[in-house]
């Protein structure tokens, strides 16, 4: 072996191990929204795992047939079975509210943060409008009735730091809902995501469902999970 090659081998051996070579104890559980199954978060799951080395799991639940109390118990049981030293939760829409209620009522003792994506934390104009239609409340289901139609949360004083991503690309259900406050993501208004007490809140130019596939949402979610704040540039 040439002297140059020997030096390269020695230099490579002295480098610190890569992130992927370390035991992965930082887990993320994704919680989907209303009328979804979890398949919709596939791209978000893979990017959090491949690009940011999180160990990612999907939680699926009955959004219509089961009420908030039972869904809290089921999610808490699922989270308790997830291994690892750190446990984060990312919830889209209704899933974000479910994550917060679970953290309040059945807190997991491990460190970790919560990111809510387009979640109606203060209630939802679109949901109230739909509930007023014939059979509307039945279509929305029990968890929406318990967690959203009553006005949502008043403030966050739970044990975990919470970051909220709100969309401002108003394309979706909101186009046919009168008096949906602007800006909105097409379903949830920005003001409906603004909960006093959360650690950080950011607005991005994405729609309610589009945020599940937007690279900027993945990067901002990962940044908050790691640092407790969203990434911003400038002063």
* pLDDT score at 232: 84
Spell out the residues 6+ positions from residue 16 whose beta carbon is closer than 8 angstroms to its own: none
Average pLDDT over residues 92-118: 98
Average pLDDT over residues 39-62: 96
- Sorting pLDDT into bands at 50, 70 and 90, what band is 7? very low
* pLDDT score at 11: 34
How far apart, in whole angstroms, are the C-alpha atoms of residue 38 and residue 41? 6
Question: 26-227, superfamily in CATH?
Answer: Alpha/Beta hydrolase fold, catalytic domain (3.40.50.1820)
| Residue 64 burial by Cβ neighbours in a 10 Å radius (0-12, 13-18, 19+) | middle
Indicate the domain borders of the chain: 26-227
- Sorting pLDDT into bands at 50, 70 and 90, what band is 173? low
* pLDDT score at 16: 33
Q: Is 179 helix (H, G, I), strand (E, B) or coil?
A: coil
How far apart, in whole angstroms, are the C-alpha atoms of residue 170 and residue 85? 39
Average pLDDT over residues 50-58: 97
pTM of the model: 0.88
Beta strands 86-92; 114-117: pairing state: parallel
Kindly tell me if the per-residue pLDDT of 5 is higher than 70. no
């Amino acid at each position: 072996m040439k002297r140059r090659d020997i030096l390269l081998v020695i230099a490579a051996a002295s480098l610190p191990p890569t992130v992927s070579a370390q035991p992965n104890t930082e887990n993320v559980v994704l919680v989907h929204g209303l009328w979804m199954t979890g398949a919709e978060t596939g791209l978000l799951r893979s990017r959090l795992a491949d690009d940011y080395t999180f160990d990612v799991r999907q939680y699926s639940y009955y959004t219509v047939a089961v009420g908030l109390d039972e869904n809290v118990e089921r999610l808490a049981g699922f989270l308790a079975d997830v291994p690892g030293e750190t446990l984060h939760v990312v919830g889209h829409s209704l899933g974000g509210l479910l994550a917060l209620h679970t953290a309040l009522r059945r807190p997991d003792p491990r460190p970790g943060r919560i990111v809510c994506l387009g979640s109606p934390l203060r209630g939802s104009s679109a949901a109230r409008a739909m509930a007023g239609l014939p059979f509307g409340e039945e279509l929305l289901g029990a968890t929406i009735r318990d967690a959203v139609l009553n006005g949502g949360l008043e403030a966050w004083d739970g044990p975990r730091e919470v970051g909220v991503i709100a969309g401002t690309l108003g394309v979706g259900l909101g186009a046919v809902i009168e008096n949906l406050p602007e800006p909105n993501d097409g379903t949830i208004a920005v003001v409906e995501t603004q909960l006093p007490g959360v650690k950080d809140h950011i607005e991005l130019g994405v729609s309610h469902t589009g945020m599940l596939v937007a690279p900027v949402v993945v990067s901002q979610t990962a940044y908050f999970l790691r640092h407790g704040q969203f990434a911003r540039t400038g002063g």
